[in-house]
Structure 1
Amino acid sequence: MNEYRIKGLSCAGCAQRIEEEIQQLEHGEDAKLSYNSGKLTVNPQVSITDVKKILKSDNAYIEKSSETNIGHEHSDHDHDGHDHSHTEGNAKMLKMLISSGVIYAAALLLDGVLDKQAVVLLYLIATIISGYTTFLRGLKNVFKLKFNIDTLMTIALVGAVSIGEWKEATLVAILFGLNELLEGYGMEKARRSMEALLQVAPKEALKMENGQEIIVPISSLQAGDLVKIKPGEKIPSDGIVSEGKSSVNEAAITGESLPVEKESGELVYGGSINNEGLLLVRIEKAYKDSSLAKILHLVQEAQETKTPTELFINKFAKYYTPLIMIVAALVILIPPLLFQGDWMTWLYQGLSVLIVGCPCALILSSPIAIVSGITRNARNGVLVKGGVFLEQLGKIDTLAFDKTGTLTKGEPHVAQLESYDEERFFLVAGAIEKSSSHPLAKAIMKEIDRRNIVTPEPDEIQTITGRGIKAMVDGQTYWLGNEKSIAHIAIPDSIQTRIEQLKEEGLTLVLVADERQVIGMFGIADEIREESRDVIAALHKIGIKSTVMLTGDHQKTAEKVASAVGVSEFYGNLLPEDKVKRIKELSVNHHVAMIGDGINDAPALASAQLGIAMGKGTDSAIETADIVLMQDHLGKLPEAVSVAKKVNRIIRFNIIVSLGLKVIALLLTIPGWLTLWIAILSDMGATIFVTLVSLTILIERQKHLGK
């Protein structure tokens, strides 16, 4: 399929009509046109000349830069973002509307001064300038028996002119043109915000080849290439620092504004900015496989999905317009036929009802809010894979958390220690654990290093499966491990009591003993993330009714962590299949989201109504979940939920306003008070209002919790 960027789409309904017309072309049955993103996908065999003709009927056109990048999966962000043709199109339309307005004002002022034909001619000129495109589209639709917004406006214009209401007809044409212009501006503003987000992708890289610096496009970079990144430049793709030291701004990936220090051997992400030092980076992935490329692609794809609300609105609008036409016919016919009403009066009222049938504001009530919400979260390093998931996030009332690596750091640390022979205890533990890569060994070595203790080399080491390690240090035999590893000695009651106490506290024990006695023990715990408690409190505050912790650790550890972070419920000793079972049980009566690290929580993430992964851009996290937190902490989660809830509130509010104003306008027909200009203002007012309200999602800044 070929992809094109479409500019100048005037409304969501028009985009739907254009899509249907393109689908009628030969090989066009699979064509998709998204009003939200302005992206058209078509079969390469479709005649682009015919597509352009259809687009031209709505003053829309294919952006030149997307034509030159046909077939590129990411073509829509390969261009330089300086296409001003849409702005020029808007400027042209604005000039036409101003000209119409001036002529209309002149006609009003000269009414009674000039003869009637001259005034009518002025009204006609003003109507043609501002309304001819709508009129031609509508006329075409009338012959095709296609009833949409253009058809309604054309019938209303013809009707108003036929009964001599020139003043009203001209005002309707001008206001409708202004309505379309403002509607286009609103969606373009949301799209521009999204496009600004997509401009973070670098375009070129400084590649080192045989000691020479060569400027190459990032698309040509392969794994293993060495690139030089000067201060202020963007890192072209994911890689490992080969030489140099600098701080790097990773906001494009994680949404975090604070720079991260990088040196030799550390991972860097494509799209992040090198601040002050010179870095040599060994590329790990071709750009198309990098975290940034995946993020940008998914953010764009996110605009394409239609939410259940949007699908309902589109379906409703499909039946709403013909229904309004029937109501308009009844308004025209019933009062004169049954109640001796004046035909001209009720024909005028019927034409006004027709204009009330324009579903502009209703169709627009959702897409701008959705695009704004996805963009706002993406800026913050929260990747929502589609409008449907954003809508779901706003409905969530229960959040289930994995413990390790989510509420905790997944990095064990020494929380308690007991020493019965301090000098030997640390020396022996350090000698045995210094060469081990086990997480518990690393925690013990961190504690020993903190105390600046220099440890000897062991004489010999033997691993005992399921128990621990037996080693010879300074000619003496020692054991290090769990309780089973010290089964050869009798443990005094006081030490046994302390062992039980530490276990009660949910700590993992590592004991050290010689041939006769215990010389000390480490109580190790997984460190709780600093922000976890604040995050849980913030989630409860914004309307999450229940927070649930699921873990494979034993119940005492689960209880301790649950108490420390403040979750509503917790379950320990769970295997992966048990987590899935719990999620399914919770989902019976609640809207449940599961949040984990996206690697070992895949089954639970998939079984929840919404899967949220965290993991600073790891492939598995991006691929597994519906929503990805691109940081290695939960700090941005409350704001993401808050934005989603706001989007849902605004969509509901927009629907109520759109339909409410139409109901009020229709009720004015009962006493015969509805006029053409009131009808168009009710639709125009609602359109402008829902657009502005939806855009507040982009401009509002909320406080978020971070590290």
Structure 2
Amino acid sequence: MNSVNHTTTSCCSHTGCCETENSFIDDAHPNESFAEKFKTYLPALFSFILLAIGIILDFTNTSFFSNWVRIVWYGIAYLPVGLPVLKQGFESIKNGVFFTEFLLMSIATLGAFIIGEYPEGVAVMVFYAVGELFQGEAVKKARNNIKALLAVQPNEALVLRKGDFVPVSPETVAIGETVQVRVGEKIPLDGKLLSSKASVNTAALTGESKPNTIRKGQDVYAGSINLESVIEIETTKEFKDSSIARILNLVQNATERKSKTELFIRKFARIYTPIVVMLAIGVTLLPYFFVSNYVFEQWLYRALIFLVISCPCALVISIPLGYFGGLGNASRHGILFKGASFLDTVTKINTVVMDKTGTVTKGVFKVTEIHPIKISENELISYVIALEKQSTHPIAKAILAHKTDDFKYMATDVSEISGKGLSGIVNGKQVLAGNISLLKSKNISVPSEIENITETTVFVAIDEKFVGYLIIADELKTDAVEAINQIKKSGVSKIIMLSGDTDAITQKIANHIGIDAAKGDLLPEDKLNEVEKLKQQPNTKVAFVGDGINDAPVLATSDVGFAMGGLGSDVAIETADVIIQTDQPSKVATAIQIGRSTRKIIWQNIALAFVVKGLVMALGTVGLATMWEAVFADVGVALLAILNAVRLQKMNWN
């Protein structure tokens, strides 16, 4: 395949080739050899060398380089780069698409040959071909940045069948089967760890390079890399339903969901090109009726300049390339946008509503404080552990997970007092562990200042004497405070917390991390009503950030729904518009920054193209610019726009 035809078809320069955008990921060639690249560039290089030699011969007035020799020389220089464009233009006309950039280039260059401007006719095609080659390389780079995510897809699974681990395709593994993963291999399916522990690298999925330690019974995800020892997992999902398969599907589909700007430019190009052709005809013929010394060749030359500079490729390639760059950059930071349209929408957000549990907190109860009274800390926690071993309550699990020098006390006659706590005999003593109501029911006094603690508190009494208390709290995420600061810096004017937890705890957390307003004691439908009220306010664009499980209705209703920890939540992947794979609320600000940087670069390219092209069109029409200026202006604008768009792929946000 020749160079110009290949690159033009691959880079969506106009309406005739925009249909190839859906193959954006599928036809990337990350391992293209030097020989293949040289073959691609060879036609343009050959034409450029002949053009350069021809210009030197013209400049030195070499005697043999005249008449038919000159025509043949430039004709040979034209064919390698011009013939593919002529052919593509003919094919487009056959398919009913008349006004394409191929037609613009064909008319401009053949017209130059007709009026004897052979070097300029060749130059138009050479520089057009070079521009297309650079565009093709930029698009390949953007493709490969996104396609790098596809490399995390596992190709093989070692499944236990008939007593042996046999290699099979991940698609054939059923739920509940045992899979072995060797050191350095990718985990092929979502599952639960059967081995005692594992160290896995989830960088390809979340963008976080720090290895994670997984314990027996915890979830592991397809696409993670096993780092330390051979492990076994029990599959919990089929491959098609695994987190990695669905995420890869999201990445591919995201490139097909166009932004309003992209859709406008594509529609604009369909209208713009025929108008340009009609104007060029007008530039050629209309002066006959108004100019006394009308010279057809002179006005035809000006019309050809008009056609060359009007080529819309700078717009039509740099804009989708900009969005591809934004989507790829977001993916590298562990943020998945479901489409380019959300890159636009996120820039308009001025109000962020956040859930508490699982969003700014870890969603896991933990013993945060131990306050013994006339007893050692280890003794207090040991008495409580002895009782809580008999319970399955979430608070009991939090206490049992707390590290302590366990005295290995044994509890007997343990009874659960509904809604209050536990009672039992430990080490020969009567022990109570529960809320304030439990101790008051036994007439055990507790200092009044302790009764007013907002967090969940386990009060402990031994032999009817108050001996201390434990505070159980949902731990803040490490970047929670930073997240709020960064969201405010990104231009968001109001941050609100809505939580199903008690209002006192919700208000305390909101005040601690700097949130503007908060409401607690809310059911999912209450959160939905609050967001709907916000959306009814004039000029308010609302983003909701939740864990994607019980917040699905609000995620769907908000202008942009952010789901935290998308790897583990099917509902998040289905409902949200943006998925934060790293489970870090600070990534919300990063997503807004990426969206705004993308929009800024897109509009820079649009302004650049219109201003430069409009100026050179005007100069060419009145005879103040030659086709050389038109060629360099067209190719230069296209390359500047592409280089500007490619910057998005390199940007980093910390």
Same fold by TM-score greater than 0.5: yes
Residue 406 of structure 1 pairs with residue 359 of structure 2: yes
Q: Name the CA distance, whole Å, in 1 between partners of 2:561 and 2:646.
A: 27
User: Which stretch has the larger CA shift, 117-126 or 637-646?
Assistant: 637-646
Task: Specify whether residues 264 and 145 from structure 1 end up closer, same or farther in structure 2 by C-alpha distance, changes over 3 A only.
Answer: closer
Task: Specify whether residues 150 and 498 from structure 1 end up closer, same or farther in structure 2 by C-alpha distance, changes over 3 A only.
Answer: same
Q: 1:46 aligns to what?
A: none
Residue 372 of structure 1 pairs with residue 371 of structure 2: no
Residue 358 of structure 1 pairs with residue 357 of structure 2: no
Deviations 1:244-271 (A, max 9, x none): 6442111122221011223543332222
2:518 is aligned, of 567, 570, 587, to 570
Q: 1:602 aligns to what?
A: 552
Residue 688 of structure 1 pairs with residue 635 of structure 2: no
Q: Name the CA distance, whole Å, in 1 between partners of 2:487 and 2:30.
A: 41
Q: 1:548 aligns to what?
A: 496
The Cα shift of 1:547 comes to: 2.2
Q: 1:60 aligns to what?
A: none
2:542 is aligned, of 576, 584, 592, to 592
Q: Name the CA distance, whole Å, in 2 between partners of 1:613 and 1:189.
A: 29
Tell whether the 8 Å contact from 1:460 to 1:473 is kept in structure 2 after alignment: no
1:125 is aligned, of 59, 69, 76, to 76
Task: Specify whether residues 460 and 240 from structure 1 end up closer, same or farther in structure 2 by C-alpha distance, changes over 3 A only.
Answer: closer
The AA in structure 2 aligned to 1:442 is: K
Aligned residue runs from structure 1 range 240-255, under 5 A: 240-243=192-195, 245-255=197-207
Q: 1:440 aligns to what?
A: 395
Residue 96 of structure 1 pairs with residue 51 of structure 2: no
Deviations 1:93-114 (A, max 9, x none): 4111111111112222222312
2:508 is aligned, of 560, 570, 585, to 560
Q: 1:649 aligns to what?
A: 600
Q: Name the CA distance, whole Å, in 1 between partners of 2:474 and 2:513.
A: 13
Aligned residue runs from structure 1 range 479-558, under 5 A: 479-489=432-442, 495-500=447-452, 502=453, 506-512=454-460, 518-558=466-506
Residue 196 of structure 1 pairs with residue 148 of structure 2: yes
The Cα shift of 1:299 comes to: 0.8
TM-score by length of 2: 0.89
Secondary structure of the 1:621 match is helix
Tell whether the 8 Å contact from 2:381 to 2:404 is kept in structure 1 after alignment: no
The Cα shift of 1:477 comes to: 6.0
Task: Specify whether residues 662 and 438 from structure 1 end up closer, same or farther in structure 2 by C-alpha distance, changes over 3 A only.
Answer: same
Tell whether the 8 Å contact from 1:328 to 1:350 is kept in structure 2 after alignment: yes
Task: Specify whether residues 429 and 204 from structure 1 end up closer, same or farther in structure 2 by C-alpha distance, changes over 3 A only.
Answer: closer
Q: Name the CA distance, whole Å, in 2 between partners of 1:291 and 1:320.
A: 43
Q: Name the CA distance, whole Å, in 1 between partners of 2:442 and 2:162.
A: 65
The Cα shift of 1:404 comes to: 0.9
**RMSD of the alignment, in Å?**
2.9
Residue 345 of structure 1 pairs with residue 344 of structure 2: no
User: Which stretch has the larger CA shift, 111-120 or 334-343?
Assistant: 334-343
Deviations 1:71-113 (A, max 9, x none): xxxxx9xxxx77749x866533411111111111222222231
Q: Name the CA distance, whole Å, in 1 between partners of 2:550 and 2:411.
A: 36
Deviations 1:347-379 (A, max 9, x none): 211111122221101112321122222222222
Task: Specify whether residues 635 and 170 from structure 1 end up closer, same or farther in structure 2 by C-alpha distance, changes over 3 A only.
Answer: same
Deviations 1:641-692 (A, max 9, x none): 3222211111111111121211111221354213222223222112111211
Residue 622 of structure 1 pairs with residue 573 of structure 2: yes
User: Which stretch has the larger CA shift, 646-655 or 664-673?
Assistant: 664-673
Secondary structure of the 2:415 match is strand
Task: Specify whether residues 35 and 164 from structure 1 end up closer, same or farther in structure 2 by C-alpha distance, changes over 3 A only.
Answer: farther
The AA in structure 2 aligned to 1:37 is: F
Tell whether the 8 Å contact from 1:110 to 1:119 is kept in structure 2 after alignment: no
The Cα shift of 1:147 comes to: 0.9
The Cα shift of 1:594 comes to: 1.0
Q: Name the CA distance, whole Å, in 2 between partners of 1:235 and 1:621.
A: 22
Task: Specify whether residues 657 and 208 from structure 1 end up closer, same or farther in structure 2 by C-alpha distance, changes over 3 A only.
Answer: same
Tell whether the 8 Å contact from 1:414 to 1:525 is kept in structure 2 after alignment: yes
Q: Name the CA distance, whole Å, in 2 between partners of 1:662 and 1:531.
A: 47
TM-score by length of 1: 0.83
1:396 is aligned, of 333, 349, 364, to 349
The Cα shift of 1:452 comes to: 3.7
Task: Specify whether residues 446 and 204 from structure 1 end up closer, same or farther in structure 2 by C-alpha distance, changes over 3 A only.
Answer: closer
Q: Name the CA distance, whole Å, in 2 between partners of 1:445 and 1:231.
A: 32
Task: Specify whether residues 470 and 281 from structure 1 end up closer, same or farther in structure 2 by C-alpha distance, changes over 3 A only.
Answer: closer
Q: Name the CA distance, whole Å, in 1 between partners of 2:8 and 2:125.
A: 19
Q: Name the CA distance, whole Å, in 2 between partners of 1:193 and 1:397.
A: 30
Paired residues, number:
639
Q: Name the CA distance, whole Å, in 2 between partners of 1:666 and 1:82.
A: 38
Q: 1:316 aligns to what?
A: 268
Task: Specify whether residues 279 and 562 from structure 1 end up closer, same or farther in structure 2 by C-alpha distance, changes over 3 A only.
Answer: same
Query: Which one has more relative contact order, counting CA pairs under 8 Å at least 6 apart?
Result: 2
Q: 1:26 aligns to what?
A: none
Task: Specify whether residues 366 and 539 from structure 1 end up closer, same or farther in structure 2 by C-alpha distance, changes over 3 A only.
Answer: same
Q: Name the CA distance, whole Å, in 2 between partners of 1:262 and 1:416.
A: 26
Tell whether the 8 Å contact from 1:11 to 1:35 is kept in structure 2 after alignment: no
Unaligned 5+ residue runs, structure 2? Answer: none
Q: Name the CA distance, whole Å, in 2 between partners of 1:89 and 1:150.
A: 25
Q: 1:45 aligns to what?
A: none
Secondary structure of the 2:624 match is coil
The Cα shift of 1:293 comes to: 1.4
The Cα shift of 1:232 comes to: 1.6
Secondary structure of the 1:304 match is coil
